[in-house]
Amino acid sequence: MIEIMTELEATATDTLPRSLFLSLFDKIDAKTHTALKREAYREALKMADMASDSMAIGSFLIDLSQFYWTLGSPDSTFLSSERAYRIFSELDDPFLTARSAYNLAAAQFAASDYLQAEQTAINSLTSLEASTNENKAPRFIATYNLLGSIASKLNAFDRAIEYRETALEYLSPDEMDSRAYYQIMNNLGNTQIEAGAYKDALNSLEKVAGNTQLKEDNPHLYAMAILNRGRANFALGNLEAVEEDYREALEIREALNETRNLPRSYYYLAEYFWSRQDTSQAKDFLKKGKEIALETEELDGLQDILKLQMLVDRDNGAQYGLELSELKDSLIQEERSLRDKFARVRYQTDQYIAENQFLSRQRMIWIWIAIGVLLLGVALFIIIDQQIRNQKLRFLQQQQEANQEIFNLMLTQNEKIEEGKQEEQKRISEELHDGVLGEMNGIRMVLLGLNGKEDENSVALRAQAIEKLKNVQEEIRGISHALSHAAYQKFSNFIVSIEDLLQNTAGAANLEYDLEYDQEADWDGVSGELKINLYRIIQECLQNTIKHARATRVTVELGATCESLEARIRDNGRGFQKRRGKRGIGQKNITSRVQRLGGKWEIESAPGSGTEIWVQFPRRQTLVDTPPEVLEGSV
């Protein structure tokens, strides 16, 4: 028992260990440790109820009903069996439903409610037939045997014999020397005696009583068999062996301390001696039987003893008759009280079930109401969240439309600056042509006219011409220096726009940035279509870096050849795991811009390694249909 309790304590609580509990119940003797066993059942049922384990509750109730049956408490047996029967009926377990129905029928039989007991036993047979349990043959045997006992009490002896014989059919050939076989044969013999078929009864009982080994293996059954054999012989008039069988059965029962069975043995011995006209011994046995019957409250045996006493002791027959009348009234009252108790139990059980069903329905209603409120709350949250998202998207769209307008203004301003540069170049060209070249042509003509002349006037004119050449030289040097400085700088308005974008976007987010570009490239010579799309792509990448990358530095590299234009945007952020086939709105926008310009792009990233985006456009690609410059969203 200690080992089982230790295993119970170590067992996880999510699954109730039914087999361990049932083993524990078997270890506790019902007669010597009744209170302990009742407490064990109470704790087991409490744990099963807390775990909501209906199968465990039903199994414990079946075992509990057998415990109460052992204690001779049919009302408690009825209550436990009734609950188990309802549980297994709801669980749709035919085999366990049949077991609980059998125990329930036995309790009804003990309460003399034979008609209800017969119906319940038939229900048990119906459940057994629907069961697929391979070990149901013993249950058929027990149920048919019980039906035989019920039919005998209803004086339907032919039906009782038929039930007993049907029980025998479920025995296998190997079981023809088993306890079940001898039990059925003894009951069959008893029924045949009650039916008046004494020779058939003797044949049936001889198969049991003739097995002397049974006296050692099962003395209780052997005592019943020889007692019934004596009854059959007594009815047939074979009195020689009757006393021996009766006395041997009495000795065995006394040795087994079966006090409730002793009054019946004393009754049959008194009946035997009274038939032999030995009134003295008959009275003695009746007296002993009556005393024990009163002590053990074995009222059926007491009733037969009082009837026989009225015949044997006629002087006190009136007294015995009065006692018998009172006993019958007491039996009737007890049976009625027990049936009323069963009826109350059924009513209370039905009421309890109805109340539970009502509470279950009420609980389900509240659950559905809670689910509805929860769904409504989720729906409201989704609607409000979607409205906030739409508002943010509209704000972003308006902001980017404003940015687009500003960028277009910047491009227009850049074009005006470009026109100013061209006009300035034209002006410089005109100054060189009209001023410097005119002066130089005039000086050249003067010098040609002075060739070969050495007079003072010619020398003076030559000196003036040389001075003018120096002035022209200085003028050309000034123009040359100005043009050389501008060429060296290669200043580009597109690059300025990118720098402003980095400063306004990355700088505002406290993000360090670098801009590297090919200073020899003619960035202002790039078409407006390429510049605006490249600007948008860089802007999109910077926004994603600020929002998602958690980076501290971003680098933008720009390169240009006569065939293509390239950009590389790189950050030192946390990176991400690329997923095949799954892209955000920002990536779709970049793809759309690149495809419209006939270019290509790639993204490389890994967790902890930052992100790098590479874009390449062909310089001579022209847009067929350029949509309005609106950024739909971000990645």
Within this chain, do residues 464 and 535 fall inside the same structural domain, yes or no? no
Within this chain, do residues 426 and 396 fall inside the same structural domain, yes or no? yes
**Is it the case that residue 210 has pLDDT exceeding 70?**
yes
Do the domain assignments include residue 329? no
Burial grade of 342 (CB within 10 A; 0-12, 13-18, 19 or more): buried
Range 466-497 burial, b when 16+ CB lie within 10 A, else e: eeeeeebeeeeeeeeeeeeeeeeeeebbbbeb
Residue 218 DSSP label: -
C-alpha dihedral over 290, 293, 299, 300, to 10 degrees?
-80
Instruction: Provide the domain limits for residue 399.
Output: 383-487
Within this chain, do residues 36 and 144 fall inside the same structural domain, yes or no? yes
Instruction: Name the percent of the chain lying above pLDDT 70.
Output: 78
Q: To the nearest whole number, what is the mean pLDDT of the chain?
A: 80
Structurally, how many domains does the chain consist of? 3
* CATH number for 9: 1.25.40.10
Q: What pLDDT digit, counting tens, does each position of 177-201 carry? A: 778 888 899 999 999 999 999 999 9
Q: What is the pLDDT of residue 435?
A: 52
Pairwise pLDDT comparison (197 vs 76), residue with the higher score? 197
Q: What is the pLDDT of residue 582?
A: 58
Pairwise pLDDT comparison (20 vs 634), residue with the higher score? 20
Q: What pLDDT digit, counting tens, does each position of 111-161 carry? A: 888 888 999 999 999 999 999 988 888 899 999 999 999 999 899 999 999
Pairwise pLDDT comparison (370 vs 112), residue with the higher score? 370
| Token duo for residue 126 | 């119906």
Within this chain, do residues 451 and 523 fall inside the same structural domain, yes or no? no
Mean pLDDT across 21-46: 76
**Is it the case that residue 18 has pLDDT exceeding 70?**
no
Within this chain, do residues 533 and 430 fall inside the same structural domain, yes or no? no
Do the domain assignments include residue 314? no
**Is it the case that residue 348 has pLDDT exceeding 70?**
no
Mean pLDDT across 574-579: 82
Within this chain, do residues 468 and 596 fall inside the same structural domain, yes or no? no
Within this chain, do residues 63 and 35 fall inside the same structural domain, yes or no? yes
Mean pLDDT across 424-431: 62
Do the domain assignments include residue 311? no
Within this chain, do residues 529 and 441 fall inside the same structural domain, yes or no? no
Do the domain assignments include residue 325? no
Q: What is the pLDDT of residue 356?
A: 64
Q: Which helix (DSSP H) or strand (DSSP E) does residue 512 occupy? A: strand 512-517
Mean pLDDT across 389-412: 79
Do the domain assignments include residue 503? yes
Pairwise pLDDT comparison (595 vs 315), residue with the higher score? 595
Instruction: Name the percent of the chain lying above pLDDT 90.
Output: 24
| Token duo for residue 222 | 């052997």
Q: How confident is the model at residue 10 (pLDDT cuts 50, 70, 90)?
A: very low
Q: What is the pLDDT of residue 49?
A: 84
Within this chain, do residues 425 and 551 fall inside the same structural domain, yes or no? no
Q: What is the pLDDT of residue 581?
A: 54
Within this chain, do residues 456 and 553 fall inside the same structural domain, yes or no? no
Q: What is the pLDDT of residue 558?
A: 92
Within this chain, do residues 18 and 147 fall inside the same structural domain, yes or no? yes
Residue where one domain finishes, among candidates 429, 461, 487: 487
| Token duo for residue 452 | 């070969």
Residue where one domain finishes, among candidates 123, 155, 170: 170
Q: What is the pLDDT of residue 303?
A: 82
Do the domain assignments include residue 445? yes
Q: What is the pLDDT of residue 163?
A: 92
Do the domain assignments include residue 555? yes
Pairwise pLDDT comparison (581 vs 135), residue with the higher score? 135
Residue where one domain finishes, among candidates 170, 189, 222: 170
* CATH number for 529: 3.30.565.10
Whether this prediction's pTM lies above 0.75 is answered by no
Which of 81-95, 329-343, 429-443 has maximum average pLDDT? 81-95
Q: What is the pLDDT of residue 252?
A: 92
Within this chain, do residues 478 and 503 fall inside the same structural domain, yes or no? no
Do the domain assignments include residue 185? no
**Is it the case that residue 380 has pLDDT exceeding 50?**
yes
